[in-house]
């Protein structure tokens, strides 16, 4: 049923744009998060065992979350997969919600700085109590730029290569990193999750940065985008997230800032001015990557038929 795979991808994005992210405890990722919460408490394990437990439970969680996707891919008839596949793949994506979260922060700021600070806490783990208006917007649009990889490009890439199980494995791995991959009391338990997420996002992050460079080149902004990538691509901790953020900041002429940690971009425009351009670039990148991956899947199908 490899020929169905390219068709499922755009249908999944269509489902995402129509339905968004349902706030339900029965959503697959919500159930995944609940399971991670059950075992992801460092105080339940001796310190000496936390790294081993973290690695073992990473494997167990990935397997459990992937089972329905594996069964669907291998046992459902093609006409059912054509309907169920987009829904399952959509559960591993978050395109529309990225925009909605950023816009919700904008609306909250319209009511007052304290409202904006409170709203942005839903997106980022940093202390928002002392953030300025521009720093609140930075946290929101950083989330769009960084999660363009985590929430869209990476799951689509792993779906392209491994089908629905590939997208499921990535979503489980990324969710564990989001919940456990911090340098606090969770560090030992989440070390494997953090390293696995870095490895899985390595190529998709670079693909995202390359596609964004092409997008900004078409808009006459290749020079500033490339310059910012070269200067600030490593300013953010981690080997992946800073790349799309730097291209996005340079291409839109704005600045992303986490006080005391990093500053990325020239800051020629405020984020209030550049926000719409950031969302447009994220949409364009999503569609370009989808088209590129579909073409690659069709070419692979042709090769197998020759």
Check residue 33 and give its pLDDT: 95
Sign of the torsion formed by the C-alpha atoms of 250, 173, 204 and 283: negative
**pLDDT tens per residue across span 93-140:** 999 999 999 999 999 999 999 999 999 988 887 888 889 999 999 999
**pLDDT tens per residue across span 241-296:** 999 999 999 999 999 999 989 999 999 999 999 999 999 999 999 999 999 999 99
3-state SS, 235-255, equals CCCCCCCHHHHHHHHHHHCCC
**pLDDT tens per residue across span 44-69:** 999 999 999 999 999 999 999 999 99
Q: CA 96, CA 75: separation in Å to the nearest integer?
A: 30
**pLDDT tens per residue across span 168-203:** 999 999 999 999 998 889 999 999 999 999 999 999
R_g of the chain, CA atoms, integer Å: 20
Residues forming beta bridges with residue 263, ordered by sequence position: 257
237 within 8 A of 261, measured Cβ to Cβ: yes
Mean pLDDT of the chain: 94
243 within 8 A of 285, measured Cβ to Cβ: no
137 within 8 A of 271, measured Cβ to Cβ: yes
pTM: 0.94
Work out the pLDDT band at 158, boundaries 50, 70, 90.
very high
Check residue 173 and give its pLDDT: 97
Check residue 224 and give its pLDDT: 97
Q: CA 58, CA 192: separation in Å to the nearest integer?
A: 7
Check residue 1 and give its pLDDT: 63
Closest CA to 191 of 62, 60, 61, 56: 56
Q: CA 89, CA 85: separation in Å to the nearest integer?
A: 6
Check residue 8 and give its pLDDT: 96
Residue 151 per-residue DSSP state? I
Residues contacting residue 16 through CB under 8 Å, at least 6 positions apart: 90, 93, 94, 95, 96
Q: Phi and psi dihedrals of 154, rounded to 5?
A: -60, -50
Check residue 125 and give its pLDDT: 77
Q: CA 284, CA 289: separation in Å to the nearest integer?
A: 8
- Other CB atoms within a 10 A radius of the CB of residue 154 amount to 30
Q: CA 92, CA 115: separation in Å to the nearest integer?
A: 30
């Amino acid at each position: 049923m490899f020929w169905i795979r390219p068709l499922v991808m755009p249908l999944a994005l269509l489902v995402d744009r129509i339905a968004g992210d349902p706030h339900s405890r029965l959503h697959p990722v919500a159930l995944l998060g609940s399971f991670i919460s059950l075992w992801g408490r460092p105080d339940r394990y001796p310190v000496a065992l936390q790294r081993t437990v973290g690695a073992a439970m990473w494997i167990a969680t990935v397997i459990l979350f992937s089972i329905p996707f594996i069964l669907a891919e291998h046992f459902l008839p093609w006409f059912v997969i054509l309907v169920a596949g987009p829904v399952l793949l959509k559960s591993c994506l978050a395109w529309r919600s990225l925009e909605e979260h950023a816009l919700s922060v904008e609306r909250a700021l319209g009511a007052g700085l304290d409202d904006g600070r409170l709203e942005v806490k839903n997106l980022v783990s940093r202390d928002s109590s002392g953030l300025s208006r521009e720093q609140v917007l930075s946290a929101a649009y950083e989330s769009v730029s960084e999660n363009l990889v985590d929430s869209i490009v990476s799951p689509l890439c792993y779906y392209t290569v491994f089908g629905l199980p590939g997208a499921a494995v990535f979503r489980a791995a990324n969710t564990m990193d989001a919940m456990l991959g911090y340098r606090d009391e969770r560090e030992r338990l989440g070390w494997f999750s953090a390293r696995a997420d870095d490895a899985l996002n390595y190529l998709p992050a670079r693909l995202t940065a390359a596609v964004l460079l092409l997008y900004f080149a078409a808009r006459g902004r290749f020079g500033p985008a490339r310059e910012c990538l070269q200067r600030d691509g490593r300013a953010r901790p981690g080997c992946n997230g800073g790349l799309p953020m730097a291209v996005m900041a340079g291409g839109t002429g704005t600045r992303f800032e986490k006080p005391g940690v990093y500053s990325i971009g020239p800051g020629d425009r405020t984020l209030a001015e550049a926000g719409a351009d950031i969302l447009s670039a994220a949409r364009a990148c999503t569609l370009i990557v989808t088209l590129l991956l579909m073409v690659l899947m069709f070419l692979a199908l042709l090769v197998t038929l020759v």
